[in-house]
């Protein structure tokens, strides 16, 4: 699995994800930090990455466009540091790897995880 870490999350997530065997890159390593969410999504889709973000806009874009991908994992927590959430995020990525491969929106918070298969339909 290839994971694109959004600009709103620490670049230190890359090392965490790579230490668990996934290819990971932070958006700032491949694109303009001021790029639109649409640009980030297009790049992730074209290059076979899922998007890992703290931004609600990515889920809204998936819902508005009814696209098949890319998959998005959104973390919803006050503290989104790897020190606080890495065990939870790694567990979710492992548990839902098949769904992420085929297309999913996964919203993770400290209490629960919600998985929606793409394309999202109203």
pLDDT at 122 over 80: no
Structure tokens at 83: 């020190």
CATH number at residue 72: 3.40.50
85-93 contacts, C-beta under 8 A, 24 or more apart? 85/110, 86/13, 86/16, 89/16, 89/52, 90/16, 90/17, 90/20, 93/1, 93/3, 93/17, 93/20, 93/22
pTM: 0.96
| Domain assignment of residue 22, yes or no | yes
Q: How confident is the model at residue 9 (pLDDT cuts 50, 70, 90)?
A: very high
| Domain assignment of residue 122, yes or no | no
- At 55 the pLDDT is 95
Overall number of domains in the chain:
1
| Domain assignment of residue 11, yes or no | yes
User: What residues make up the domain containing 86?
Assistant: 2-117
For the chain, how big is the Rg over CA atoms in Å? 13
* 57-90 confidence digits (pLDDT tens): 999 999 898 899 999 999 999 999 999 999 999 9
pLDDT at 6 over 90: yes
| Domain assignment of residue 7, yes or no | yes
In this structure, the chain runs to a length of: 122
């Amino acid at each position: 699995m290839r994971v694109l870490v959004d600009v709103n999350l620490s670049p230190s997530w890359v090392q965490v994800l790579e230490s668990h065997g996934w290819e990971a890159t932070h958006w700032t390593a491949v694109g303009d930090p001021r790029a639109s969410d649409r640009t980030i999504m297009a790049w992730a889709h074209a290059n076979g990455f899922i998007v890992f973000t703290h931004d609600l806009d990515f889920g809204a874009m998936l819902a508005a466009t009814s696209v098949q991908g890319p998959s998005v994992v959104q973390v919803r927590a006050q503290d989104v540091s790897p020190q606080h959430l890495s065990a939870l995020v790694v567990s979710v990525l492992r548990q839902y790897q098949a769904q992420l491969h085929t297309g999913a929106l996964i919203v993770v918070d400290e209490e629960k995880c919600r998985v929606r298969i793409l394309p999202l339909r109203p």
